[in-house]
Structure 1
């Protein structure tokens, strides 16, 4: 038989249905009985090319980008990165030595020197006879039986570092007995008469302390309580934090921790010294925020267009936060003089703008929450756009539905975080005996409210902004036409 009349390949024809079957041509010679019919399902289906080639041949989510998206995003981010680098050059700190503030200065004018010590014994003693702060080579001993009415607690501490390592000193803690009396300055004490008075630390045997050193006229050294030793506990919690993040988020969590360390490095080695050099706190905060966002987002979420869209949304929202912060500080007449730390800073270096410092704090404070919202919106929009048949507008609407739920929960996080930080201040104002309106409009509370309002508005606006950017970057997938058997 010639090739022209060759039978077609069974793989190139669809299985015939009973209604479509036609009798075969009569055989040229007798043949054996036909083999038993097989089920149509056992035959190979016909190969067809009627579908569209829109599938991704790479692993992971489908990112179908418009032709203009990649160069546009890369161009915008390149411009912002160059502007950030130029700003960092102009604002780069000199890292010169600065005078030490009075509250952190020792008697000789230098920085406060501290040594480590451990509490090894405690006893009741008279406040004026224990020789608190002096150094002795022998462990001081106190007779509890003869000093049961003493108004102070004597804590014997062994010095474990410094020039007097191995010697001893005594720390005196006044108890409520020292506040007994009925004079005009007397106030009601709380707790047992043997408890330390309010504002005094409560030592226990085994406590690890840091003691400050000060020189005395006779050439000796006197020690006093400075702080607790927290190095080992902090290291433990830091390790636990890293282990928990990496255990749940694996390599992405590790990259996020590295990005966090990079962010702290920028704040410590660039932002703070630059502000102390007299540069604009707002400009320093904006440059620092931009320099933080680039490595943090790409380290945590990888180099992709969805990460880039989240970065664009975060930077745009950050610009809105700067404008909102300026308007809030101006309209509310916030000066920044209500806090003790800002007052000390103003006395230390009057050239620093406290209102600018407030603005910088607003900007830095919004970074974390904006990053959380924008990356979620970008990922949700890209995932929705990867569903066949979804248009850009469908992806935008779906992303907005996700964003509304996210806003509702994140606003609570923002408000409660600020309320928790200001809790001691709120307690003081609660017992101040002033009208509620006066307390709310006071600068100390108004600053926290303004911080909350600015962060909340920037958070709300970042959702449609980032969702729109992500929806504009994707190319929806056309739905595959239905195939007939």
Structure 2
């Protein structure tokens, strides 16, 4: 690799990493009240454990559901970390439809240890240990990006990690501190969009066009979700997990209203950014090949390209929300529910507004970016193309 050729890109990567570290170390200054006490799980601690032996097993196949067994297992469990490390316990592992954690000898699990008056009163299997699976999948994902994308793949990884850092260490602390979810999400979206597109495309008119187009697209999506959500009395209090959100709100400065708006901005960010950069790149490429082309002709070309993109991208967020709510969709489809009640369900209204608002933002990103990119590509002043 020629260092001089990638000097600017390397500087952008280093600056992005530095900004990410600043955000991480500054998050405690924004919100540092620690974890909120879980009223339902007081006196419960969780430790990595291993199944040493299964002394008895009484399991029967479920009569109605395939691949599910019901009953119990008598197991010997060894705790692998914490104050009870290397201690062995005999545990009854009850297996039901809801808690169906059938273990084998050697299985790594997470054990729930119930503490009463400073002593262990009970131990249960909480879940399988899956962290190694998630880490392996993440590493495979990163390696794939590097192998296919090369140095640009590295920049993509850095921008992805930076966006995750912004959401976790900036947006969430701001929201828990009491800052409006709307302002928090707009701030994070602006920072993420700017850093990501500058990192990918450098300091140029093309990047500026994509940044403005993306910002306008996600803000329009968020505004639509907010307005229609307010009109339909879906301000966020009707969300799934609303009870947990209200409990967190009682103990922090979290404002429930506006969370749906924030969710739209963050969920639409990637897709809108992709559309904006595609349109901007296409217009600047056309301009570089035909210096005599007019702004009007560039805009028309950008719209023609955009219409092809819209054909597939308009489904992106709808399908994403549908996939994330597949269980709910199955329950709704299977129920004997009148059309009037179906169309007025809180959860259905929330999902539809989120999906439609996000897709509308993607569609409107096309003409907005096309206008900006067409004008800037023919403007000889300012940043380089």
TM bucket (normalised to shorter chain) is 0.7 to 0.9
- Matches of 1:202 and 1:126 in 2, distance apart? 11
- Matches of 1:357 and 1:381 in 2, distance apart? 35
Determine the structure 2 residue equivalent to 1:96.
32
The superposition leaves residues 345-384 of structure 1 with CA deviations (integer Å, 9 ceiling, x where unpaired) of: 2033245332311111111111111101000000011111
- Matches of 1:375 and 1:456 in 2, distance apart? 17
Answer yes or no: is the 8 Å Cα contact 1:321–1:363 preserved in 2.
yes
Determine the structure 2 residue equivalent to 1:333.
233
The superposition leaves residues 422-472 of structure 1 with CA deviations (integer Å, 9 ceiling, x where unpaired) of: 011112222332124422320101111000110111111100110110000
- In the TM superposition, 1:7-46 aligns within 5 A as none
Determine the structure 1 residue equivalent to 2:64.
none
Q: Give the secondary structure class of the aligned counterpart of 2:347.
A: helix
- Matches of 1:369 and 1:218 in 2, distance apart? 51
- 1:449 equivalent to 2:349? Answer no
Q: Give the secondary structure class of the aligned counterpart of 2:76.
A: strand
- Matches of 1:318 and 1:283 in 2, distance apart? 13
Determine the structure 1 residue equivalent to 2:62.
none
Q: Give the secondary structure class of the aligned counterpart of 2:258.
A: helix
Q: Report the alpha carbon displacement of residue 230 of structure 1 after superposing the two structures with TM.
A: 2.2
Answer yes or no: is the 8 Å Cα contact 1:94–1:274 preserved in 2.
yes
Q: Give the secondary structure class of the aligned counterpart of 2:358.
A: helix
Q: Give the secondary structure class of the aligned counterpart of 2:32.
A: coil
Deviates more, 1:457-466 or 1:115-124: 115-124
- Matches of 1:369 and 1:200 in 2, distance apart? 37
The superposition leaves residues 6-33 of structure 1 with CA deviations (integer Å, 9 ceiling, x where unpaired) of: xxxxxxxxxxxxxxxxxxxxxxxxxxxx
Q: Give the secondary structure class of the aligned counterpart of 2:349.
A: helix
Determine the structure 2 residue equivalent to 1:165.
85
TM-score computed with the length of structure 1 as normaliser: 0.65
Determine the structure 2 residue equivalent to 1:417.
320
In structure 2, the CA distance between the partners of 1:281 and 1:221, relative to structure 1 (3 Å rule), is same
TM-score computed with the length of structure 2 as normaliser: 0.81
Answer yes or no: is the 8 Å Cα contact 1:329–1:355 preserved in 2.
no
Answer yes or no: is the 8 Å Cα contact 1:391–1:476 preserved in 2.
no
Q: Report the alpha carbon displacement of residue 94 of structure 1 after superposing the two structures with TM.
A: 3.0
Answer yes or no: is the 8 Å Cα contact 1:317–1:462 preserved in 2.
yes
Q: Report the alpha carbon displacement of residue 398 of structure 1 after superposing the two structures with TM.
A: 1.4
- 1:122 equivalent to 2:54? Answer yes
- 1:349 equivalent to 2:249? Answer yes
- 1:433 equivalent to 2:369? Answer no
- In the TM superposition, 1:173-212 aligns within 5 A as 173-174=93-94, 196-212=96-112
Q: Give the secondary structure class of the aligned counterpart of 2:254.
A: coil
**Which of structure 1's runs of 4+ aligned residues deviate more than 4 A?**
none
* Larger fraction in helix: 2
- 1:262 equivalent to 2:162? Answer yes
- Matches of 1:126 and 1:453 in 2, distance apart? 50
Deviates more, 1:402-411 or 1:156-165: 156-165
The superposition leaves residues 189-227 of structure 1 with CA deviations (integer Å, 9 ceiling, x where unpaired) of: xxxxxxx43433222333211113222348345322233
State the aligned residue count: 342
Q: Give the secondary structure class of the aligned counterpart of 1:161.
A: coil
* Larger fraction in strand: 2
In structure 2, the CA distance between the partners of 1:457 and 1:398, relative to structure 1 (3 Å rule), is same
